[in-house]
C-alpha cells in the first residue's frame, strides 16, 4: 500500500524516466508523483560550469519535460535555493515525501543534507537512493569495511559482488506512468531556458543530450562497437568508444542499463568480442572506483590524494598554460587533442592522458589548472572522473601512474595515430604532411616542410619545450618529493 498521497522526485544528475531508482521507489510508495528540477543560477554561472555540459543538461531537461507532458504530466522546473523552491512546491501540491538519488560531490552532499533536514523538520519523509553508481560507496569495500584505494582489488570485489547481488535495471517507466501527477496539479511551469541566459554559447558540435539519444548510442555501440572495443579504444581517429560519457554524466542513461547491455553482449559474443564487453565493463568500474574515492576522500577535490605530493612545486607560467589550452604547444598530437576539446566538448581518453601528462610533466604546471580547464570544456565534466584522471596522470592520486611515467608525445602519437589521420582532421595547417613527418614537424628540413605548406613559426608553432629537457626537469622536481614516505 502506498505510504504517501503525493511525493516529489527531485531530479539532478539523472535526467531520464527509465531505470531510475528514486522514481521507481517514489511510485511504489506513493499515490501520486511530482517530478521537479531546480536550476541553480550560481552554479550555472559559476567557474565550474561550461557551455558544453549546460547544453547537454538543458537539452536533456527539455526532453524529460516533453516525455512527462506526453504522459499528461509535467516537469516542475524551479530556479533558486533548492530547499526554498522544493518547499514551496511541496506546499502547492500537498507533497509529504521527497525522493532523490545520491550524489557524492561534496557541494551536492552539503546541499542535500540541508534540503533533507529542512523537509524532515517539516515532518516530511525523505529517501535518498543509490542510482548514479551500480554499487554505492560503501557497497564494494574491503572485508574490514574500509574503502579500496587500488583499482584492481576494487574491481575484483565489484565483480564478485555482482555474482551474488546483481542490480538489474529498474523498470521505472511502466511502474510510474499511472502515478505521475496530472499537469494541472503541478500548476503552470516555465520553459527550459536557453544556455545563453546563463552566459553559455551554443554549438552544433557539442554532444546532444536526451534519454532517447542515449539509448540509441548504447544500442548502436553494443550491436557494432563493443566487440572491437578492446582493440580500438585507444585510437582517436576511429569511433572506437561508446561516447556515452555525457549521458552517464547527465544520467540520461542508467548505469544498470549499461552494465546489463555489456553482460548481454558478452553472453551472445564469442572469443575476442566477449573481451570487448569485459574491457568496457572495466571502464564502467573505473567510473565507480573514482566515485567511491571522492565519497570517502572528499579532500581530493582540493588537493592531492597522496600527502607527499602536496609538497610538489609546480611552475607558474600563464603563457605556457595558454599555449597548452589554445593548442599552440607545437606537439601536433597535444594540439589536435585540445582542438577536439575546444570545439566539440569531448576528448578521447588516450588524448586526455597525453595532454594531462604534457601539462603536468612537460610544462610542470599544477594539475588543478588542467582539471579546471577540462571542467569548463567537457560535456561530460565530472568531478570524480576528472579529478581521478588528472591525479592519476600527475602521479598525485590514488593508484596513480608512477611519477617517472612521462608520456613521450611523439611516440604516443606514432603509436595511437600512426597515419596522422586524427591530427590532420583537427589541424588543417598540417594536412599535407605525411605519416612520417606529421608527428614531429620540426624535424622536417625547412624546404620539405615548405613544400607541404608548413613554415614553422608561421603556419604552425615550434615545440614549446624540448622533450628530453622537459623530462629531466620533471624527474628532478618529482623525485625528491616522492622519496618522502607516502601517506594517504
Ligand X SMILES: Cc1cc2nc3c(=O)[nH]c(=O)nc-3n(C[C@H](O)[C@H](O)[C@H](O)COP(=O)(O)OP(=O)(O)OC[C@H]3O[C@@H](n4cnc5c(N)ncnc54)[C@H](O)[C@@H]3O)c2cc1C
Could you list the residues that contact ligand X (CB under 6 A)? 233, 241-245, 248-249, 283-284, 286-287, 290, 349, 352-353, 356, 374, 378, 380-382, 385-386, 388-390, 393
| CB 369 to ligand X: min, Å | 12
Q: How far apart are CA 180 and CA 182, in angstroms?
A: 6
- Considering the complex, state which of residue 170 and residue 277 has its C-beta at the smaller distance from ligand X: 277
Of 125 and 296, which CB lies nearer to ligand X in the complex structure? Answer: 296
59 versus 225: smaller Cβ distance to ligand X: 225
Nearer to ligand X by Cβ, of 407 and 460: the residue is 407
- Which is closer to ligand X, CB of 133 or CB of 430? 133
Exposed/middle/buried for residue 277 (C-beta within 10 Å: 0-12, 13-18, 19+)? buried
All three cell numbers of 426, joined, read 583537427
Which residue's CB is nearer to ligand X, number 202 or number 232?
A: 232
State the nearest-atom distance from the C-beta of 284 to ligand X, in Å. 5
Least distance to ligand X, CB of residue 203, Å: 18
Which of 342, 402, 44, 61 minimizes the C-alpha distance to 203? 342
| Alpha-carbon gap, residue 97 to 7, rounded angstroms | 5
**Minimum distance from CB of 87 to ligand X (Å)?**
33
Q: Is 298 exposed, middle or buried (0-12, 13-18, 19+ CB in 10 A)?
A: middle
Smallest gap from Cβ 141 to ligand X, in A, equals 19
Long-range contacts of the stretch 306-310 (C-beta < 8 A, 24+): 306/396, 306/397, 306/398, 306/400, 306/486, 306/487, 306/488, 307/486, 307/487, 307/488, 308/481, 308/482, 308/484, 308/485, 308/486, 308/487, 309/394, 309/395, 309/396, 309/481, 309/482
Cell 588542467 sits on residue: 370
Q: Which helix (H) or strand (E) holds 362?
A: none
Least distance to ligand X from the beta carbon of 267, Å? 19
Shortest Å, Cβ 392 to ligand X:
6
C-alpha angle 238/241/242, rounded to 5°?
130
What stretch of H or E contains 273? helix 272-296
**Shortest reach from residue 174's CB to ligand X, in Å:** 27
Q: Interior CA angle at 405 toward 403 and 407, to 5°?
A: 135
Q: Which is nearer to ligand X, 96 or 357 (CB)?
A: 357
CA angle, residues 195, 89, 83, in degrees to nearest 5: 75
Instruction: Report, in angstroms and rounded to the nearest whole number, the Rg of the chain calculated over CA atoms.
Output: 24
The Cα–Cα gap between 73 and 33 comes to 9
CA gap 223, 217 in Å, rounded: 10
Is 76 or 255 the residue whose CB approaches ligand X more closely? Answer: 255
Nearer to ligand X, 244 or 444 (CB): 244
Q: Are the C-beta atoms of residues 391 and 368 closer than 8 Å to each other? A: no
Task: Name the minimum Å distance from CB 38 to ligand X.
Answer: 23
Which residue number has the CB closest to ligand X? 389
Distance in Å, CB of 243 to ligand X, minimum: 4
Tracing cell 550555472 back to the chain, one arrives at 44
Q: Which is nearer to ligand X, 284 or 429 (CB)?
A: 284
Q: Which is nearer to ligand X, 87 or 157 (CB)?
A: 157
Amino acid at each position: 500500500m502506498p505510504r504517501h498521497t503525493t511525493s516529489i522526485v527531485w531530479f539532478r544528475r539523472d535526467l531520464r524516466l527509465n531505470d531510475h531508482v528514486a522514481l521507481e521507489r517514489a511510485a511504489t510508495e506513493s499515490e501520486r508523483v511530482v517530478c521537479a528540477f531546480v536550476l541553480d543560477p550560481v552554479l550555472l554561472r559559476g567557474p565550474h560550469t561550461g557551455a558544453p555540459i549546460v547544453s547537454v543538461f538543458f537539452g536533456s531537461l527539455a526532453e524529460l519535460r516533453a516525455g512527462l507532458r506526453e504522459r499528461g504530466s509535467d516537469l516542475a522546473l524551479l530556479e533558486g535555493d533548492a530547499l526554498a523552491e522544493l518547499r514551496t512546491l511541496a506546499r502547492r501540491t500537498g507533497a509529504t515525501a521527497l525522493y532523490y538519488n545520491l550524489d557524492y560531490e561534496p557541494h551536492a552532499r552539503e546541499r542535500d543534507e540541508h534540503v533533507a533536514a529542512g523537509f524532515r523538520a517539516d515532518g516530511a519523509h525523505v529517501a535518498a537512493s543509490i542510482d548514479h553508481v551500480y554499487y554505492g560507496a560503501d557497497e564494494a569495500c574491503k572485508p574490514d569495511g574500509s574503502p579500496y584505494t587500488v583499482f584492481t582489488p576494487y574491481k575484483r570485489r565489484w565483480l564478485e559482488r555482482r555474482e551474488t547481488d546483481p542490480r538489474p535495471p529498474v523498470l521505472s517507466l511502466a511502474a510510474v506512468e499511472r502515478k505521475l501527477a496530472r499537469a494541472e496539479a503541478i500548476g503552470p511551469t516555465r520553459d527550459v531556458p536557453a544556455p545563453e541566459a546563463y552566459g553559455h554559447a551554443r554549438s552544433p558540435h557539442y554532444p546532444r543530450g536526451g534519454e532517447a539519444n542515449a539509448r540509441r548510442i548504447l544500442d548502436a555501440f553494443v550491436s557494432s562497437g563493443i566487440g572491437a572495443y578492446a582493440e580500438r579504444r585507444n585510437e582517436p581517429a576511429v569511433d572506437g568508444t561508446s561516447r556515452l560519457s555525457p549521458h552517464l554524466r547527465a544520467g540520461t542513461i542508467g548505469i544498470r542499463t549499461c552494465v546489463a547491455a555489456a553482460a548481454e553482449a558478452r553472453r551472445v559474443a564469442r572469443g575476442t568480442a566477449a573481451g570487448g564487453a569485459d574491457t568496457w565493463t572495466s571502464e564502467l568500474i573505473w567510473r565507480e572506483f573514482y566515485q567511491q574515492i571522492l565519497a570517502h576522500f572528499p579532500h581530493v577535490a582540493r588537493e592531492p590524494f597522496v600527502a607527499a605530493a602536496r609538497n610538489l612545486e609546480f611552475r607558474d607560467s600563464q603563457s605556457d598554460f595558454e599555449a597548452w589550452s589554445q593548442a599552440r604547444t607545437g606537439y601536433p598530437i597535444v594540439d589536435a587533442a585540445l582542438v577536439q576539446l575546444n570545439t566539440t566538448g569531448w576528448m578521447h581518453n588516450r588524448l586526455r592522458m597525453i595532454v594531462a601528462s604534457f601539462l603536468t610533466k612537460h610544462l610542470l604546471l599544477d594539475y588543478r589548472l588542467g582539471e579546471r580547464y577540462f571542467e569548463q570544456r567537457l560535456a561530460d565534466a565530472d568531478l570524480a572522473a576528472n579529478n581521478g584522471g588528472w591525479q592519476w596522470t600527475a602521479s598525485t592520486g590514488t593508484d596513480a601512474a608512477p611519477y617517472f611515467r612521462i608520456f613521450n608525445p611523439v611516440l604516443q602519437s606514432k603509436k595511437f595515430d600512426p597515419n596522422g589521420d586524427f591530427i590532420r582532421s583537427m589541424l588543417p595547417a598540417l594536412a599535407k604532411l605525411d605519416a612520417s613527418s606529421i608527428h614531429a614537424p620540426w624535424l622536417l628540413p625547412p624546404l620539405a616542410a615548405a613544400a607541404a605548406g608548413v613554415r614553422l613559426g608561421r603556419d604552425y608553432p615550434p615545440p614549446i619545450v624540448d622533450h628530453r629537457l622537459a623530462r629531466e626537469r620533471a624527474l628532478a622536481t618529482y623525485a625528491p618529493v616522492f622519496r618522502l614516505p607516502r601517506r594517504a
